[in-house]
Amino acid sequence: MIENNIITGFSKLSKDEKLELLASRLGLSPEAMNSLRSFWHSDAEVQKTLDEFSENTITNYFFPYGVAPNVVINGKVYMVPMVIEESSVIAAASNGAKYWASKGGFHSEVLSTVKIGQVHFIWKGNFEELQSHFPKMRKLLLDRTAAITANMERRGGGVLAMELLDKTDALDHYYQLSVKFDTRDSMGANFINSCLEEYAAGLREYVNESGWFEGEPLQVIMSILSNYTPECTVKTWVECDVKDFGDIDSSMSGEEFARKFEKAVQIATVDVYRAATHNKGIFNGIDAVALATGNDFRAIEACGHAWAARNGKYSSLTEVSIENGRFHYSLTLPIALGTVGGLTSLHPMAKFSLEMLGNPQAPELMQIASAVGLANNFGALRSLTTKGIQIGHMKMHLLNILNTYGADDREKVLAVEYFRDHKVSYNSVAAFLASLRNGQVIN
């Protein structure tokens, strides 16, 4: 039965043929087909570029593209592009950035930009013997990638270090060739992986084919970059006197707010359930900048969460200290971002985003993304520790709810006015629309 439903050769069909097949399988109406086609880009060249990013493309999936203005980092003002579907994220980033702009803005420092790649292999011979060959082998391996690395070296990057690691404590006969790279302004995945595949071939050849060793052959399991980049790290922070928080919430003093905020970060430091949500809010901002600039947000998230668990317990990515009345609040994390290569120049909107940021180099983009992450964390904790998250969130969500109930423009205007001082929920919006549609007067 299932076999009859298996489609073969789908990828070889044209886009129209793919759509036709989909329509016949799913019973799509001509209107549904037109709706799918309506998301195609009007410029066929642009559409072709988009189609070629991926496989089996049938249409585009739109996300809102917004801007957080007033992001001040090390004295420079940025308008930061953000792509995200969740309401409130850009508002929180913008509010947080504006708030700190009046207090000196964000300070940020890139601590390092090194990336790692690994050849994982199984070796049943004597490790010391293999190690004794390593100086000679390393030279041969590096020679193999000379053509690939020459270009990167011209840009100031390349291979920084290569070592053999004994991992047999963790897994029988398991070793690694661990290589450190500087990929300059590119994210560098293709560069690193191409080098690693060469090193793997060279390693196999050296050990299995050059005749110095006669035991069981060395077996390469895989060669791939690591998305965990603890040496590609940025630290971003803000600071002020606690008394400067005096106007932040009418129900508490600046000192009380600072202490409550500090407690909220401490809770995310000790409790994994809270830490995951706390860090998710930071990645709301970072991912949105990564998406807008054509970067790989999955890699960035995987790295950030691994880093958050680096001490053996998943914990908060931000830290707060209050000393002598001074509030210091920071975010330190690895973010491997690129500003050249990949989608950064191919995707028209990614290209535009980078232009909007003044075509930064990768370290500057690390600072921008982390500042937005910190702004989002500040915005979330500020709401959570004062009036709660739902007032602002549901206000932002109001339009989504109105659209769900098919509200027209007039109803939307009236709803926005009404819900300025009424609590937003699905029920309250449904009741409001029902009254409006029944001709009742609503106050």
Task: Decide whether 254 or 281 has the Cβ nearer to ligand MEV.
Answer: 281
393 among known catalytic residues: yes
Question: Would residue 166 show up in a list of annotated catalytic residues for this protein?
Answer: no
Give the residue nearest to ligand MEV (CB): 281
Q: Is 296 a catalytic residue?
A: yes
CB 394 to ligand MEV: min, Å: 13
Nearer to ligand MEV, 187 or 268 (CB): 268
Q: What is the CA radius of gyration of the chain?
A: 27
Question: How many residues in the chain?
Answer: 443
Residue 440 Cβ, how far from ligand MEV at the closest point, in Å?
Answer: 35
Q: Which residues of 116-128 are buried (b: 16+ CB within 10 A; e: fewer)?
A: bbbbbbebeeeee
How many angstroms separate the CA atoms of 335 and 72, rounded? Answer: 19
The answer to whether 115 and 192 have CB atoms below 8 angstroms apart is: yes
Closest to 83 (Cα-Cα) out of 295, 227, 234:
295
Least distance (Å) between residue 227 CB and ligand MEV: 23
CA pair distance 161, 231, nearest whole angstrom: 13
Q: How far is CA 404 from CA 42, 86, 366, 401, 426, in A?
A: 28, 15, 37, 5, 9
Taking the least distance from each CB to ligand MEV, the nearer of 87 and 229 is 87
Rule CB under 6 A: which residues touch ligand MEV?
Answer: 86, 277-278, 280-281, 284, 380, 384, 389
Which C-beta is closer to ligand MEV: that of 66 or that of 230? 66
Rounded to a whole number of angstroms, the minimum distance from the CB of residue 381 to ligand MEV is 6
Amino acid at 253: S
Q: Choosing from 185, 262, 287, 296, which is the catalytic residue?
A: 296
Whether residue 107 contacts residue 225, with contact meaning beta carbons closer than 8 Å, is answered with no
Q: From the CB of 284, what's the least distance to ligand MEV, in Å? A: 5
Q: Report the residue number, 235 or 280, with the smaller CB distance to ligand MEV.
A: 280
Q: Which is nearer to ligand MEV, 196 or 381 (CB)?
A: 381
Nearer to ligand MEV, 66 or 125 (CB): 66
Whose CA is closest to 334, among 82, 114, 80?
Answer: 114
Q: One of 18, 305, 393, 397 is an active-site residue; which one?
A: 393
Residue 352 C-beta-side C-alpha neighbours within 13 Å: 10
If DSSP codes are grouped into helix, strand and coil, which group holds residue 379? helix
Helices (H) and strands (E) in the chain, counts: 17, 10
Least CB distance to ligand MEV at residue 278 (A) = 5
Q: Which of 20, 86, 256, 271 is catalytic?
A: 86
* Residue 252 C-beta: closest distance to ligand MEV, Å: 19
The active-site residue, picked from 280, 351, 395, 412, is: 280
Instruction: For residue 212, give the DSSP letter.
Output: S
Q: Is 216 a catalytic residue?
A: no
β-bridge mates for residue 159, sequence order: 181
Task: Name the nearest CA neighbour of 93 among 282, 235, 228, 311.
Answer: 282
Q: Which residues are catalytic?
A: 86, 280, 296, 393
